[in-house]
Chains A and B, each alone.
Chain A
Amino acid sequence: MNLDRKKFLKVLGVTGLSLAVGKESTGAPNEAPVEFKGILYDSTRCAGCQTCETVCAEVNGLPVPTETIETGVIRNTDDQHRTVVNSFKTSKGDAFLKKQCMHCNEPACAAACLTQAMYKTKEGPVVWNGDKCMGCRYCMVSCPFDIPRFEYHSANPKIEKCNMCYARLGEGQKPACVENCPAEALMFGTRRELIREARKRIVENPDQYFDHIYGENEAGGTGYLYLSAVPFEELGLKPLQKESYPSLSKGFLYSVPSVFVLWPAILLGIREATKNNNSNIIENE
């Protein structure tokens, strides 16, 4: 009995261990782990020069924006503007905020996409594949930041949104907005480095910054991270839940297989149980 128990525990331990580490140990050990890349936007450094808007349009073949920034007038991203900079009246004077795709760690748009046209790359950017998209616009409904935009006036419409210059990243370059920002308000790097850098800035200049990194936990963590001098609500950013948005529909999706197994069995059972109610009446019709 004792021996058996010992043996049993041993087997249990080995099984548990291999279950716990099995995934890592079977993977290729030589491959360096890829970390999500992201961009840190420091609102206190942004001068509102709109260079990012201009280069973004040039790189992506969109019309170069001509509108200028006006405090209090909110411009929005649309099918011709993948990024916009707005100016807000805040408790510490006028401040700018750049808006574009946040490149969530667990993007709602990608979870919503029924063709996997929208997906999170292993490098970090969330990108759109026109060969798969059927234009249902469920990504637009699901995105908590209202980012994916649709070309309503085209017979072959595309979804427009920032893709962190995914093609440029492949060539070893930085995203166009980061590379051309004259005020160095944008910084490109792995998400881990960026959070460290953001913390450092807050610690070194506690008077200059509001003590919060927007995007560190919002919506389950985002690839774009924001620093600001004032609470983020003053810059038009709503407080969002800490859990990722796809987690909201997880419960429903997990219940689907059980319903598929249980329902037919239950229905058949009820049918058999009620069969004798009117056994003389014809059944199949």
Chain B
Amino acid sequence: MNAPLRILHLEDDPVTSELVSGLLRRDGLAVDMDRVDTLADFGSRLSSGSHALILSDFSIPGMNALEALHLAHERRPNLPYVFFSGTLGEEAAIEALKQGATDYVLKDRPGRLVPAVRRALREREERSRQAEAEHAGRLLAAIVSSSENAIFSKTLEGRITSWNVSAERLFGYGAAEAIGQPITLIVPPDRFAEELSILEGVKHGQGIENQETYRRHKDGSLTPVSISVSPVRDREGKIIGASSIARDMTERKKGEEALRQSEEKFRAVFEQAAIGMGRVNFTDARWIDVNDAFCRMLGYSRQEICATPWPQITHAEDVELDLIPFQRMAKGELQQYTVEKRFIHKQGHPIWARLTLSLVRDRQGRPDYEVAIVEDITERKETEAALQKARQELAVANRDLDRKVREHTAKLRETVAELEGFSYSLVHDMRAPLRAIHTYASVLEEDSRARLLPESLDHLRRIKLAAHRMDQLIIDALNYSKLVRDELPLRSVNLGPLLRGIIETYPNLQPPGAEIRLQIEDLHVNGNEAALTQVFSNLLGNAVKFVAPGTKPKVRIWAEELESESVLIWVEDNGIGIPKEGQGKIFGMFQRMHRAEAYPGTGIGLAIVRKALERIGGQVCLDSEPGKGSRFCVKLERAIESKQPDRLR
């Protein structure tokens, strides 16, 4: 109020302005008159904005006073506008007031000016305060309505007086539904006492802050909230109600619940895990806590384990293994490590364990404790050891087996050698007496031919024949046993030369006794020379032997190459043939079709043929009819001809 009151004065007469200034000063108002006399100046002065009041003449030459009023209202709506004029009819005055003028004072009654100005100024001030209050109210309302928190108020009796949008959202009641209702609308019955005590506090000027409680939603569900309540006072400071702010705690509760559940789950896992778990203090290497599985693993109670630093229940040889990384982890150098080591069970035996150890830091990031996950791998270790042992035993057994096989092989070789020796003896020793029989019979026959009866000579002949047959039998049996026993390595054998050799060896296969047509020149087969010699010498021997008396044996040998790798060797004769019923038995041992007198033989020949072929992977078959000769067929595998010829003998 010390600053002079700046008045914008629209007046063409400076004297009037002086007068006004004098009048106001005399009344104690320090004024600073700012006189303008054109509309243009008026407008520009309005914009400067420093005036507290406008005084205006009504009749200025060349200017409409109402126009100025409009301009002022437009630019400075709150600025009091007082007409101070000499000529203002009642009509004009009413019009001016209608148009928004604050007041009018006639120049011829200047005494009214000062009160009018004062009143205008007062009114302006009041309006301005009111506008501010209104603005503040609107601002507050905006804040309240846009708040995330439910904000509502109530009377001291607990009747709801305001209700914001968030309150609608949080509790489900619209403002219209809530306002006027008792606050118990949203207070669950078990919280009535709490609400009463809050209201009681409010009456005594006490509020509450962030108290966690529950409020009831329109749908009946309970909503966790944090409420703050403050007393509401009227202008005089008397407490007339309470304002509440309720924060929705659902999400936080959910988070807390989730955390709690998570902790419970962890605890459950920790306690019930089949695997051993525990936490270890770095300062004294003691267990902070351990689970049952770990206790069971080592046979100690929880108390016993927790009272013992871990190195004391670790196998002495394995302490270092764990201690070095443990100390590094204690310094924070290691975040995690794994170790396989032995604990010592309470009963003294080692327990193999695989430990996974993880560092847990405190809020400051310093190493706090170690979490240990302990897996009992005793069984695995034992299995490994057993496996290792089994492997060693197997190796030993293998060596043993090897040795045994070698021994057996040696023994077998020995046996075979013995058998060969036996065969040799058989040949020599069994044949020797036969030769003696033959010899003495022959000598007797020769020396005493003249003195012996014809019957006696015939007996001698029969003795010789029997001895000879016996000898043949021994030789054939020996050949057969050789075929069974001997190694017959497979080689490429050229059948042409082999067959020629056989024919040339035996006089009975040659003219004039027999006529053999060999139609094989070069034919390489897989076989064994000794075996094949036995096969074909027997087949050819039979072919020329079993002919009707007086018939000259004619034999043809040829090969029929099959599309596969095989070849058939045919031996066809003009002999007596073999009856169908005998054909199945003919390859058996000692099977004879005829009396020895008619066709001498041992009955082993075809058995030798079959056995020899069996040994070298060949087959023999027969096509024969009595009186029409026989065709023996030997099936062999062809050899690759580029193979080296069988070694010479």
Check if A and B associate.
no
Q: Which residues of A contact B (CB under 8 A)?
A: none
